[in-house]
Each structure stands twice: as structure tokens, then as C-alpha cells.
A and B are shown apart, each in its own frame.
Chain A
Amino acid sequence: MMSIRGVSVSFVILAMVCIAFADIEVIAADPWSEFGRIGLGFITPSFFSWSELLTSLANTIAFALVGVAVAAGLGLLLAPFFHWRVVRLFCSFIRSVHELFWALLFLQVFGLHTVTGLLAIIIPFTGIFTKVYAEILEEVDQRPLNALPIKALNTGSAYIYARLAVAWPQLVIYTRYRLECGIRSSSVLGFVGLPTLGFHLETYFKQGDYSQAAGVLYLFFLIIASLRLWTHRRGLLILLLASLIWLPFELSTNPEIILRFLTHDILPQPMRDAASLLDVSVWADMFNWCVKLVQTQVGIGVWNTLLLTMISLVGSGIVTLLLYPLVSPLFFRKRWRLPGHLFLVVLRSIPELMLAFVVVVMVGPSMLPAIIALSLHNGAIIAHLIGHSTITLKLPLGAARGLNRYAYEVTPRIYRPFLAFLFYRWEVILRESAILGILGIHTLGFYVDSAFEELRFDRALFLILITALLNILVDIVSRRIRKQLRLTALPEIR
């Protein structure tokens, strides 16, 4: 039988064991000059060209809005069928592949086109929406449904009136939270070439033009921090409409390219040139091809991905517990929470890749930058949500203050939702840790990136499928733990 304490302690021990195996060497030869330039850049932000900046800002928001809207619609349609195993597996699969990988795949077919960006958001988000919507609808108050005339019970009308309508406020809260994630994802798509904010951010960062990079980042912070102000119903509708007009849609894709991609590029190399698939030697070659990939890339990739994920999961938990009081009304007055809010906005808005870039400069190229970046980023997200949720806690009159309040009154009360949030976030951390391989840590993402660079899409797809499998596995374990510990989270985090 699992206990909250037992699970927490085991995960911390597991993370410590992982650290022992991980490469976390600090190689800080001379970080100060570069660090000084980064600092200077952030004090002296520069906005390189307003027209370009605003265009990419509009693209970022447009991709996010349209992508999230379509995905939410599809999620709503699929959610009632989530109890079908095939739907569940399908959703599990599509959300287990990171947006950037989807984008890299669609780039091969559609090029740098609106469709590439939209699909890269729509596909994984549909998987996430379907799952979370289904869970919310499942946990909805059953009484209105039971009060219906019995003949109406299993009809679409009952579904709409007695489930959707009941769950609506939670669905809206969750969808709005996802919009923030959508904007983050959309801007990150710029890293592979789509014309969003990330495009410039990556360029300037890589180039060491920290003033310009800071300009882009500040603009991005502003969007995330002001999200609540313009995401009311009417504002969203107008923006969504404007986005549809804004994004160029005329598609000039050649069906031959799609066909070639599906029937040639992603086929494992031994199968491509084979005269007949009935030939035994083709399958022998296939076997060797797989074995070689597993030996040289998959094994190391999975190992490093898991190490990074486990350490960062516990790291995120620690960061959360340290930071959540910053935005909790139980610890700080409104005035003092503002800096905390801004701090968390900054931490959760900077894409992990950027954060890791900065840390690489500080501590050198080991797994450490990725661990720090993932822990800070995810910790800040959960701290934001946990901190807010403490509003609902009612402390007894005369409750202890300060550190005593933190340790005795609040942390024990939020510990269950905290764990639930963290375990929900597990699969996200895994997806992101795969992506951080692009930095040079040999996670699965490193080999996926290499395969794309070497134009070996067959390998890329094979490795992506392995990544997806790993993700599904973690999802299952996480669900089992949550079920065993009876952890349910508030709707925002899943």
C-alpha cells in the first residue's frame, strides 16, 4: 500500500540515485564576461524593428488562438468517447510527441506554412484537451443527470444539458489556462523557423545580442502577464476572428511531397529500396537496422531522458515548495505578492531552452543546465497554481505565522494537490527533457534532432515513436500512483 510519505521519500531517493549516475559536472571556466553581457542586455532591452517584432507577436498569438480553439473543439467532440480504449490510446499517443517534433515532421511536408504551425499545436493539444475534458466531465456532479427523465439519459441532449453545462465553468478555466500554454508553444515553434517570437528570440540569444533578446522576452512577459485582461469572452472572439484573417492560408502543397514523405522518407531504410517485402533478407536487414539504432541511440537516449526526467521531477517539486508562498495570500499582502507574481511569470514564460542556454554559460555543458531549467520552469508553473489555490484554505483564527505557518498549517494542507499537480506534470517534464537534447545532452531528443539534421526521417520517426512509448509508460505509472494515493488536482494543471 502506497502512502503519501512513502511515495515522496522514494521519489527523492530515486532522484538522488539518478544524480549519482548523471553528468552534472560544473565547468565554470570564465562565465563572468558572458554573464555580464546577459545582465547588461536585460537592463538595456532594445526593440530591433517594431514592424518585425509586432508581426511575429501577431503570428504568435494567432497560431496559439486558432490552434487552441480548434484543439478545444476537437477535444470536446472526442471527450465523450474517451472511455473507448482506441480513443484513449490515440490521445495518449498524439500528446506524447512534443510540439517541436510535430513541427519538424510537418515542415518536411508543408514547409514553412501556416498549416505546419497550426497542426503542431492542434495535434498534441487535442490529445491533452480530450483527456482532461473527459476527466472533468467524468467527475461532474451526477445529480442533474439522475434527475432527468429516464428516456433522456443516454442521449446527446442529456450530455449537453446535464454534463457539459455542469462542467462548463471548469472547462472554461482549463481552456483558458491552456491558452497560456498555447502561446508558449506557439512562440517556441519559432525555434524551428515558424515566424513567431521564438524565431527572433532564438536568433538573438544564439548570437549573443542580449539586448534584442531581452526586448523580445519582455514583450513575451507582457503578453503572458496581461493574459487575463484580454481573454474575456468578447475579446477572445474578436481576436480569434482577427487571427483567422491574419494567418495566410493559401496552401500550395504538392500531394506528391506528402506521398513521398509517407511512402518513402519515413520508411526504414532497408524497406525503401526493397523489391519485395516478402523477401526474408529485407526483414533481416530491418532487424539489424532496429538493433543498431537501439544499441547506438535508443539505449543511451532512454537512459539519459529518464535520468533527466526523474531528477527534474523532484527538482520541480522542491522549487514549487520553495516558491509557492510568494504568491499566496496566506503569506504576503497583495502589494508584496506582485514582485512574486512577476518573478513566476518570468520563470514560467522563458522557454526552457533559453533558460538552459543561460545556465550553460554559467555552469558549462553538462546535464545540470537542463535539470536547472526544467526544475525552475515547471516548479514556477506549479507554484503559481498552488499559490493561487491557497486562497480557498481557511486557517483557524490565531494560526501560526511565518515559517511555522508554512510548515504546520499550509504545506501539509496543500501537499496532496501539490503531489497531484506534480504527477500530472511528469509526462510534460519527460516531453520537455527529450527536447532539451537539442542542447547536446544525449537524451532521445538529441538523436531525434540529429536524425532530422542528417535528413534521416526514418530514424527520426522511429526515435519519436520510442519517445512516445516512454511517455505513455510514464503516463500510466503516474495515473496509477495518483489513483492509489487518491490524488485529484484542480483542473488547471493537467
Chain B
Amino acid sequence: MKLSRLIIAATMLVAATLANAKDFTFTAIPDQDSSQLQLRFGKVAKYLETQLGVKVNYVPVKSYAAAVTAFRNDEVQLAWFGGLSGVQARLLVPGSEAIAQGYEDQFFKTYFIAHTSAGVKPGESFPEGIEGLTLTFGSKGSTSGRLMPEFYIREHFKRAPEEVFSRVGFSTDHSRTIALVNTGAYQIGVVNYKVWETELAEGKVDPEKVQVIWETPVYPDYQWSIRGDVDGNWGAGFSAKVKAALLGMNDPDLLASFPRQSFVEAKNSDYQPILDTAKSIGLID
């Protein structure tokens, strides 16, 4: 008897870890520190549950694209996207809306970081002397780790990154980018400035070995996007309720998991510059 009960309990556990269509479900792009995602967003799910009065699940995904696909296929109705993934997702789901962004996301930026052995001096303008070095982006679908830095590289050199650098890699996430430059595997890295500052504060970066050599101009980035059909499925005004819950999130512990100081309103048109940039470098047709 005990065994069968164990099996049933376990089955339910797995069922819960996989998407469950009936509950309101959200996901987040795995942009950093993915081992803590469950912990970080589990708390957010609880908060939303109390605010919305419905069951809320968080589903972890392995890539930016997987987050977009889950949103598109209605496996999740709400998602914490990057600038680019949000634009991609909303293009695929007509009626979906960007409803909130971090306060910092209104003026987000990318840090170009370099291993000290590369001998690149930090400066106010696009770094000189990085041509011919090795560079790693973050994820292929990242805004701060791919889209914006690639845009500035193309703007400066009028060439594709593969032609500028002797080697171009994709580390898959920001923490990994920092680690790879830290070991010297790559000489230059481009990274989400928030992740850099967090890891610097936690002592995960050796300032003797890696330093910021340039910060890009600001651009809009991360945002919460919601599907347009949630009002139909969870009742009129549900979308507005979600938005209010997100904007009203002021527990520092919750906010630290993003990490943002607060959430502010956002709308689709805020991300027009991202869409234009993505089109200009050929990431979106």
C-alpha cells in the first residue's frame, strides 16, 4: 500500500513540474543563475497566487526560445522576457501585451568586459583595439548579451562580429559569460550590467582579472508580457489584475530575485527600438 501511495504522490509531483493547462502559469527566460530560478520564481508564484486568488505555477525552461514557444503555445500565459524575446513572443501572439518592466529596464545597458591580459583600456567611447581578439556573447536570443552589443559592434566596424573578432562564441547565459572571461577562455565578453554588478558584489568576479571596458548607451529591456486571451479564460479584468499585482510588488526580497528596485508600467511601443534593431541585424525577418 505504501508503495502505491508513494507512486501516486510522486506522479502528482511530476505532473506539477510539467505544465498544467488548468492553472495560470508563467515562466522566465533563464538568463542567469538558473539553479536558483525555481527558488526565486517560486516565491513570485506564491505572491501572485495571494494577489490574484487563483492557482499560479512557475515552469522553468532551458532557453530563451523555449520561453517564447511556451508563451506562444499557451503553456504559459505570463512571462518575464528580455527585450528581444518579448518582441519575438508578442509578434507571435497577437493581442499580447507588455504590462510591466523593471524600473531599471527603462534605461538598461550592456557592459563590455575584458580580461586584463587583453590589454584593452576602459573608456567612454567604443573600445579601441578589440579587433582581432576573441569575444563571447551570452545567449543567442539575449538582448543585452547579443542584440545590443552586436548592434554597436556592427555600427562601429560596419562588419559582422565574426569578421571583426578572431573568434566569436555564445556562452548561453550572463553568469557563464563572466566565468569564461574570468578564466581567459575569451578575451572580451558582453554582459547584462545587472548580472555583472550582482556577481561583483557577491565576489564571484576577480577585479584583478576582469574589468568593464565600455558601457553601451541605454535601451529598454526586460518586461512582463501577458497573453491577450487571459481575460477570456480567467475573467474580465484579469490582465489588469495581474498588472496591478506586478506593479504593487514592493517586498524587497521578491524584487531582489529579478533584481529590480520596483516595477513600472510598460507598453508594447516601448520596445519598438528593440524590434528595429533586431530587424536591422537580421534576427527578425
Contacts and interface: CB of A to CB of B under 8 A. Distances in A.
Q: Do A and B bind each other?
A: yes
Interface of A: 23, 27-31, 33-34, 48, 51, 55, 58-59, 107-108, 111-114, 191-193, 195, 199-200, 202-204, 206-209, 212, 242, 245-248, 250, 252, 254, 257, 269, 360-361, 364-366, 439-440, 449-450, 452-456
Contacts of A361: 183, 185
Contact of B63 (A199, A203, A247, A453): A453
A59 B35 CA distance: 19
A58 B10 contact: yes
B141 interface: yes
26 contacts: A30-B209, A33-B182, A34-B179, A108-B69, A111-B19, A193-B60, A193-B63, A193-B66, A195-B18, A199-B62, A207-B33, A207-B175, A242-B7, A248-B15, A250-B15, A360-B180, A364-B185, A366-B167, A439-B169, A440-B136, A449-B140, A450-B140, A453-B139, A453-B140, A454-B65, A455-B65
A43 to B, nearest CB: 20
A242 B180 CA distance: 42
B246 to A, nearest CB: 24
B14 A111 contact: no
A29 B92 contact: no
B11 A454 contact: no
A211 B209 CA distance: 24
Given A440-B169, A453-B65, A30 B10 contact: no
Given A108-B73, A449-B140, 15 more contacts: A29-B183, A55-B10, A58-B14, A111-B70, A112-B59, A192-B62, A193-B62, A193-B66, A195-B14, A204-B35, A206-B173, A360-B180, A361-B185, A454-B65, A454-B283
Contacts of B139: 453
Contact of A29 (B74, B176, B184): B184
A313 B2 CA distance: 50
Q: What 10 pairs across the A-B complex have the smallest Cβ distances?
A: A29-B184, A193-B62, A440-B169, A453-B140, A252-B21, A30-B184, A248-B15, A111-B75, A34-B183, A453-B141
Interface in B142-196: 167-170, 172-173, 175-176, 179-180, 182-186
Nearest to A190: B62
Interface residues of B, number: 56
Contacts of A55: 10, 13-14, 17
A450 B162 CA distance: 14
A209 B176 CA distance: 11
B227 interface: no
Contacts of A208: 175, 179
Contacts of B33: 207
B115 interface: yes
B179 A453 contact: no
Interface string B245-285: 00000000000000000000000000000000000000111
A208 to B, nearest CB: 6
Contact of A247 (B14, B59, B136, B173): B14
B260 to A, nearest CB: 21
A455 B73 CA distance: 13
Contacts of A195: 14, 17-18
Contact of A209 (B7, B14, B35, B117): B35
Contacts of A51: 13
B140 A454 contact: yes
B216 interface: no
B18 A192 contact: no
A192 B61 CA distance: 8
A329 B209 CA distance: 50
